């Protein structure tokens, strides 16, 4: 049978698996997998369910747990399930087991941990982030199994812990302790970001720099400003002066959207409690997303210099403290086989031309890229991750599963 015929059979089979997709979402949603950093029990219950399910399908499943005394069972599971192919080289789909807490329950229309089906919408915590990637990849494998099709490459499903709180007990741990699992020849798909029209194949990420700027002056009565040093006025001037960063680091990289570095003042801590007091202490934060061609150290140094010079005009001092500093990993080549395989599959399934692109946010794929493992991040998103009433579309589950099956079937 030709691979095109196999694909149309698999595609049809996936349509028939809709009910199973809903049921799997229901099972996953009901198993609370909030990590200990977010005061949850960890991923143990969900992983045990999945291990049982996949073993029942006849897959070999391995667990590489990271010790974590805070989690139920004392460890954070990292599962790898194998569907043997005709060849030993691999195609991977990595999804994560953990979810973020539901947040304010009043903002939910129903229990976050009970799946609600509303037309094409499947609603519940985790349905999009990251059950969508998990269910679509598992069901793509299930369709091959049901039809008795052996894929050319061996398929590896990695189901990891701790993505939402740093991946130290998840992918980072797996890569450190089991580096032999992955090779630069493998195709690695991470279905954890994308666009609503399915055309964004994420291959690069900007460097991330979060800074806290603390300005110290002199508090006094607002009727006698000369007695004090107004840190809010100084902060306003500092914020305006920092606009110069756009010129100083003025690269344009069409791989990214937006194609330039961004430097945004964001959070501002409360200062004085009343109108007639001049503040003597102000704290605000900068969120910088910097193109990989620039050195974060240089950006940080310039921010310090500009802030200090500007604040000094008002007799105010500034300290600049890093909150997060993440130098971007080397980009995945837009011509890499995994990217091109996804582009072909998206064309076939969605009828659209996908585009390899960089984004401003960070994903777990950075851990692969730091090790020069070419990972592509892709899924069809609904932009409801981390929100109340999180949902995914059943139609996206089916079609994303088809895209993955198309990649699995490529020679
Ligand atoms: Zn996620």
Whether a cis peptide bond, with omega within 30° of 0, leads into 130 is: yes
Note the pTM of the prediction, 2 decimals.
Answer: 0.87
Summarised one tens digit per residue, pLDDT across range 5-38 is 999 999 999 999 999 999 999 999 999 999 999 9
Q: What distance in angstroms lies between residue 190's CA and the mean position of ligand 1's atoms?
A: 9
Contact yes or no for 357/377 (Cβ under 8 A): no
Q: What distance in angstroms lies between residue 31's CA and the mean position of ligand 1's atoms?
A: 16
pLDDT band at residue 320 under the 50/70/90 scheme: very high
Whether the predicted pLDDT of 166 surpasses 90:
no
pLDDT band at residue 257 under the 50/70/90 scheme: confident
Known catalytic residues are: 98, 163
Dist. CA 214–CA 228, nearest whole Å? 17
Q: What distance in angstroms lies between residue 359's CA and the mean position of ligand 1's atoms?
A: 15
Dist. CA 165–CA 23, nearest whole Å? 27
């Amino acid at each position: 049978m030709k691979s095109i015929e196999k694909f149309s059979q698999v595609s049809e089979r996936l349509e028939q698996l809709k009910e199973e997709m809903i049921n799997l979402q229901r099972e996953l949603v009901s198993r609370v997998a909030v990590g200990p950093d977010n005061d949850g029990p960890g991923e143990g219950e969900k992983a045990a369910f999945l291990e049982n399910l996949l073993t029942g399908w006849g897959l070999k499943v391995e667990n590489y747990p990271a010790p974590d005394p805070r989690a139920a069972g004392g460890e954070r599971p990292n599962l790898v399930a194998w569907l043997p192919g005709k060849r030993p080289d691999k195609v991977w789909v990595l999804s994560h087991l953990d979810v973020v807490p539901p947040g304010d329950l009043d903002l939910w229309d129903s229990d976050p941990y009970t799946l609600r089906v509303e037309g094409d919408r499947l609603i519940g915590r985790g349905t999009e982030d990251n059950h969508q990637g998990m269910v679509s990849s598992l069901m793509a494998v299930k369709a091959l199994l049901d039809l008795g099709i052996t894929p050319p490459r061996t398929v590896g499903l990695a189901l990891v812990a701790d993505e939402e709180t740093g991946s130290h007990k998840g992918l980072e741990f797996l890569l450190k302790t089991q580096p032999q699992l992955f090779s630069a020849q493998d195709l690695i798909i991470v279905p954890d970001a994308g666009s609503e029209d399915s055309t964004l194949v994420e291959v690069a990420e900007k460097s991330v720099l979060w800074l806290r700027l603390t300005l110290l002056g002199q508090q006094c009565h607002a009727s006698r400003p000369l007695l004090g040093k107004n840190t809010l006025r100084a902060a306003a001037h500092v914020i305006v002066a920092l606009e110069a960063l756009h010129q100083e680091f003025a690269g344009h990289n069409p791989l990214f959207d937006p194609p330039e570095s961004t430097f945004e003042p964001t959070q501002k801590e409360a200062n004085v409690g009343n109108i007639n007091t001049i503040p003597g202490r102000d704290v605000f934060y900068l969120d910088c997303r910097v193109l990989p061609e620039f050195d974060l150290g240089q950006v940080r140094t310039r921010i310090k210099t500009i802030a200090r010079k500007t604040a000094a005009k008002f007799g105010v001092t500034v300290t600049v403290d890093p909150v997060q500093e993440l130098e971007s990993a080397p980009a995945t080549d837009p011509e890499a086989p995994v990217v091109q395989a996804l582009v072909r599959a998206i064309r076939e399934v969605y009828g659209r031309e996908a585009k390899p692109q960089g984004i401003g946010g960070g994903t777990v794929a950075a851990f692969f890229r730091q090790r020069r493992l070419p990972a592509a991040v892709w899924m069809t998103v609904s932009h409801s991750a981390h929100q109340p009433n999180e949902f995914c579309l059943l139609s996206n589950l089916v079609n994303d599963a088809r895209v993955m099956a198309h990649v699995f079937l490529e020679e």
